[in-house]
Structure 1
Amino acid sequence: MRDLIKGFKSLVTENFDREVDEERGPLLSSTASSIKSYGTVFGVSDTEQSYNGSCDEKMTKSKSIMPISTKILKKQLSKKYSLDLYPSQILDAYLSKDILSDNLSTKKRAHSPFPDSEEKKEEEKKNSSVVTIFAVWNTMLGSSLLAISWGIEKTGLFPGIILNFLIGAICLYTAYLLLRVNEKHSVIGERCEVPELCRMLLGRWAEVLAKVFSMIVLFGANIVYWILMSNFLYNLVYSIHGFIYDSQEHDNISVICPKEQHPVNVTAITNTAIDVGGPFYFDKYWNLYSTVPVILAFIIFPLLNFKNAQIFMRFNSLGTISIVYLIGFSFVKFFTWGINWPDVSVVFSLKPTFAALSGMLTMSYFIHNIIISMMKNNRHQENNGRDLTIAFALVTFTYSAIGGLLYISFPLSKWCIEDNILNNFGKFDKLVLFGRALLFFQLSTVFPLLAYMLRKDIFSYLSFLKEDEKKFRYIPVIIMNAILVVICILFACFIPRIGTIIRYIGALSGMVYVFMMPNLLNIYSLRKENKLTSLRLFFHVTIIVIGILNLLSQFIISDD
């Protein structure tokens, strides 16, 4: 679940905004944008904004009006014009009230050789359409790539691909609704996310609901990543041990079926690989469902207690590397194995367990909680709809290609496909070994980010635990992280099924974030504009009902 990292990167690195109390600053112009650009020169109020970036609820602390000084004016004008101004120029600028307004006329800007330098810098910080498209594509692709073949097996090949396109289309439409509603109703110049829009248009209950289910997504992603890290760590150490003690015995095994009770070749290999000699056996102390998740805690837990998670954002590019590797790995295996078609009835018929794929895909296309922030950085806002459509099309194609290719070419019975496709490969496959090492390192840097985001969300609701930027309290942070790690260990030991967790979390959070809130917000917007017709109301209510049925169906199917 890397679909939250990109958007959160800007949230944890940005400085808190500054807001003006116009009643305390009579010398200021009425233009709020000028205050926001040039700071607190004339005694404006400092604003402390919460992590969620509220649009209309800000706590303002007013200060007394400061005397105007040449040093401060020089600093502010230097920021504006990127020049080293002399005192006489500063006085002229002040008397002409250039510093009081952000909307300067051409005549007033004429004395500066670079009048639009600030605007150009702001424009250069934004992304082009190509960068925006690939950012959305990279953000949505995550751990679901490992489970997409399993989902297709639960649905049927062609029905699975069709269902992939349908869920992708619904998620694209609801994500676009969020962008459109935000454009119509958000405060100009402010950063509004889904919870803020829900509060402004629907009420406080909708904001709370959106925030709670956003935390559920983070919590579920932490659990899935912990299970995957435990799996990768177990197999990496197991493979290294086998290469050291008995490497020549394992080169011929490439595909296995863990669901079979007595896989002859795998059993033989296991008995020879883990025997170190004497009374000790390797698997006695290196067990995937007992010792490994606990050992992993000693590696990861120290990384969770940093004051901020900026250091881990430097490794965010590994997400793209691992995705490209998985795509290349899928094509290599496809051309190596060839085509192994199952029965025609399995290819074209829709299985009764298809809801497993629909629940998982809701999580796979989940980007709705950060889509507003991501698309706001697009340099050409008029192309948001087109760029978002292209990005979703790329994601849909990637999921269909990876899942379909591995499903078609899988040489064993299709029911053997695991929810983590790497479990179907031998521990000594060189390509799989490198992929596990790459994914383990990537997830070990992403997990602290997710834990940090979850901690910030939970602490924001507890006033006595709200984090102070100047005073970092370790005890509440350590307790919070310890509880998270213990829960993740329990899941890794007793419910190590990432497919099951993804489909439940995806269906539950998707019902609120993907199916319900965007449509309710759009219904409110259409009603306010007197454009809500019976047909439109029926269409949006139908999408909400689909989300509810998608959640309920998860409880009536089995993963076996």
Structure 2
Amino acid sequence: MRDLIKKYRNIVQGKFESEVEDEDESQPLVSSTTSSNKSFGTVFRVSDTEQSYNGSCDDKIVKPVSMMPVTPRELKKQLSKKYSLDLYPNQFLDVYFNGDILPENYSPKKHTKLSFPDEQPKKEEEEEKNSSIVTIFAVWNTMLGSSLLAISWGIEKTGLFPGIIINFVIGAICLYTAYLLLRVNGKHSVIGGRCEVPELCKLLLGSWAEMLAKVFSMIVLIGANIVYWILMSNFLFNLVSSLHAFIYDGEVADYESVICPKDVGPSNKTTLIQASSEIKSIFFDKYWDLYSTVPVILAFVIFPMLNFKNASIFMKFNSLGTISVIYLIGFSFIKFFTWGVHWPDVSIVFDLKPTFVALSGMLTMSYFIHNIIISMMKNNRHQENNGRDLTIAFGLVTFTYSAIGGLLYISFPLAKWCIEDNILNNFGKYDKLVIFGRGLLFFQLSTVFPLLAYMLRKDIFSNFDFMKKKSEKLPVIIMNALLVLVCILFACFLPRIGTIIRYIGALSGMVYVFLLPNLLHIYSLRKENKLTSLRLLFHVSIIILGVLNLLSQFLISDN
């Protein structure tokens, strides 16, 4: 017992074997030459020594140090300190590899603390997340687009009350399928990895579904670019025509007149809109034509913007989208109170027209947000509220479409079949409120179009190996030129945004809205052994509905 007490005293005092008076005793249990990380117990070296490293472990010079027992509480206190790798280079490594403990009186030159990834970054990440109200209006603003100008035309193709009902039905289906994507992503996505609809399709359905999602996402972008080019050509044409009319035609009494372009043939439509009979306007009318020269002239304005190296400059004008939506809502209410109510025949109000599928196809595009919904809702601060916030956003979109389309349809003073797929075409060139709206929308679309072109070009380059040379400018210029050429051809020969929206919407919606979300959900239920015959029948019925929506577009005419 006496020998054990003597050994313990030597250990506590930190004596070396050579300093032990009893030469006959065996080597101590723990000595300074024994590595602390190889010893047993909570005994660590105090780092009050000077250490020098000369490139190898053999050259390490260690001065004698004292040994001390460390309780678990003290050890936890030491290890919980925030040390900087720059300020404590050797000492920090000794703590984790050799079991060293930094002394309390060790002070660095700079009092900088090391931020561990599980503390401060979490707060910063939460601050970068959006609140529910921001998420709701972001989804609302994203879905509201050019369909606002055509929604009254779609209601005219359907009937007032049937059109509002179809609006609610298509909105509910799109909401449900978008929510399915969020649920499937929450269950099967890779934590920390990029997971969009194409990645989910590849993970659960296979490469064929991934390619299908990517292709139809690009088709949506192409369709949006075409529609925007047609609208920009229309706005530019009417803005210049209005300016020319104010200069040469003088004052006009009925400057808020409503026109019906369908009263005359397509060849005379331009003449009707311009409404100028003076000889000095003949030259202007000949060379400033909506369906020939204006789309080409527009290319000289937009094409240089497509070749900007950095497209982020156009993102600064995203707020114009909200301003444009607010303008169109205010415009609808102003015209409603100015014109009053002009009810059509009862049969037109309540009867469902055979051309109602034009509205269903267009609304599929209007509610299309499925290719980016996962990314948008991922930025929501409270992920548990995604379903609620998404429902509120879709409800606001449904209300906005119903309000604008219904108000303009009810108050339109002429025959309802005169309503154009671009409602602004039904107004004369002297209406100052319309002129302001055209200018605002033209500027907004001229900043959005380069962003859509950039997104399309990025998708094409990333999916085709032979176009992945990002350093070369020639492929970028060629791609932009082809896109502008396609847009010009549509603006000249098929300048009907309602027709383009309903075809693109029905085609892409069949894949992104009706097919892929339901297939992903069916696979998820099957994997969880929760797939029943009733659930399978319900989701297959939605897919069939999307196929019928597409096929029916070829059975009607817009004339």
Give the structure-2-normalised TM-score. Answer: 0.79
Over 3 Å counting, the alpha-carbon distance change for 1:94 and 1:161 in structure 2 is farther
In the TM superposition, what is the alpha-carbon distance from 1:141 to its structure 2 partner? 0.2
After superposition, give the CA deviation of every residue in 1:211-233 in whole Å (9 maximum; x if it has no partner): 00001000000100000000000
Partner of residue 199, structure 2: 196
RMSD: 2.4
In the TM superposition, what is the alpha-carbon distance from 1:249 to its structure 2 partner? 2.5
1:141 aligns with 2:165: no
Mapped to 1, the partners of 2:89 and 2:151 lie a distance apart of 63
Mapped to 1, the partners of 2:301 and 2:347 lie a distance apart of 48
Ranges of 4+ aligned residues in structure 1 off by more than 6 Å? 111-115, 262-269
Equivalent residue letter for 1:452 = Y
Over 3 Å counting, the alpha-carbon distance change for 1:186 and 1:238 in structure 2 is same
Equivalent residue letter for 2:136 = I
Mapped to 1, the partners of 2:122 and 2:232 lie a distance apart of 45
Equivalent residue letter for 2:170 = I
In the TM superposition, what is the alpha-carbon distance from 1:283 to its structure 2 partner? 0.9
Partner of residue 122, structure 2: 119
In the TM superposition, what is the alpha-carbon distance from 1:95 to its structure 2 partner? 4.4
1:369 aligns with 2:367: no
Match runs of 1:276-287 below 5 Å: 276=280, 280-287=282-289
Contact 1:246 1:273 in 2 (8 A): no
Over 3 Å counting, the alpha-carbon distance change for 1:95 and 1:521 in structure 2 is farther
After superposition, give the CA deviation of every residue in 1:489-513 in whole Å (9 maximum; x if it has no partner): 0100000000000000000000000
- Equivalent residue for 1:175, pick from 163, 175, 178: 178
Match runs of 1:74-153 below 5 Å: 85=84, 87-89=86-88, 91-96=90-95, 116-153=119-156
Mapped to 1, the partners of 2:275 and 2:459 lie a distance apart of 47
- If you compute each CA radius of gyration, which structure gives the higher value, 1 or 2? 2
1:337 aligns with 2:339: yes
Partner of residue 511, structure 1: 510
1:434 aligns with 2:433: no
- Equivalent residue for 2:244, pick from 225, 241, 249: 241
Equivalent residue letter for 1:527 = R
In the TM superposition, what is the alpha-carbon distance from 1:456 to its structure 2 partner? 1.0
Partner of residue 544, structure 2: 545
In the TM superposition, what is the alpha-carbon distance from 1:463 to its structure 2 partner? 1.6
SS in structure 1 of the partner of residue 530 of structure 2: coil
Partner of residue 164, structure 1: 167
SS in structure 1 of the partner of residue 280 of structure 2: strand
Equivalent residue letter for 2:476 = V
After superposition, give the CA deviation of every residue in 1:136-160 in whole Å (9 maximum; x if it has no partner): 0000000000000000000000000
Match runs of 1:33-112 below 5 Å: 85=84, 87-89=86-88, 91-96=90-95
Contact 1:249 1:269 in 2 (8 A): no
Mapped to 2, the partners of 1:535 and 1:262 lie a distance apart of 53
Give the unaligned 5+ runs of structure 2.
Answer: 1-79, 98-112
Contact 2:270 2:290 in 1 (8 A): no
Partner of residue 395, structure 2: 393
Contact 2:261 2:272 in 1 (8 A): no
Over 3 Å counting, the alpha-carbon distance change for 1:311 and 1:273 in structure 2 is farther
In the TM superposition, what is the alpha-carbon distance from 1:306 to its structure 2 partner? 1.8
Partner of residue 467, structure 2: 465
Partner of residue 212, structure 1: 215
Mapped to 2, the partners of 1:154 and 1:269 lie a distance apart of 23
In the TM superposition, what is the alpha-carbon distance from 1:190 to its structure 2 partner? 1.4
Mapped to 1, the partners of 2:202 and 2:115 lie a distance apart of 45
Partner of residue 482, structure 1: 481
In the TM superposition, what is the alpha-carbon distance from 1:254 to its structure 2 partner? 2.1
Contact 2:344 2:416 in 1 (8 A): yes
Q: Percent identity?
A: 77
In the TM superposition, what is the alpha-carbon distance from 1:378 to its structure 2 partner? 0.2
In the TM superposition, what is the alpha-carbon distance from 1:256 to its structure 2 partner? 0.5
Q: Which moved more, 1:476-485 or 1:532-541?
A: 476-485
Equivalent residue letter for 2:355 = T
SS in structure 1 of the partner of residue 474 of structure 2: helix
In the TM superposition, what is the alpha-carbon distance from 1:116 to its structure 2 partner? 2.4
Contact 1:511 1:548 in 2 (8 A): yes
In the TM superposition, what is the alpha-carbon distance from 1:331 to its structure 2 partner? 0.5
In the TM superposition, what is the alpha-carbon distance from 1:467 to its structure 2 partner? 4.2
In the TM superposition, what is the alpha-carbon distance from 1:556 to its structure 2 partner? 0.1
Contact 1:245 1:273 in 2 (8 A): no
Partner of residue 185, structure 1: 188
Over 3 Å counting, the alpha-carbon distance change for 1:304 and 1:528 in structure 2 is same
In the TM superposition, what is the alpha-carbon distance from 1:539 to its structure 2 partner? 0.3
Over 3 Å counting, the alpha-carbon distance change for 1:492 and 1:436 in structure 2 is same
Over 3 Å counting, the alpha-carbon distance change for 1:525 and 1:96 in structure 2 is farther
Over 3 Å counting, the alpha-carbon distance change for 1:559 and 1:525 in structure 2 is same
Partner of residue 408, structure 1: 410
- Equivalent residue for 2:384, pick from 382, 385, 399: 382
SS in structure 2 of the partner of residue 189 of structure 1: coil
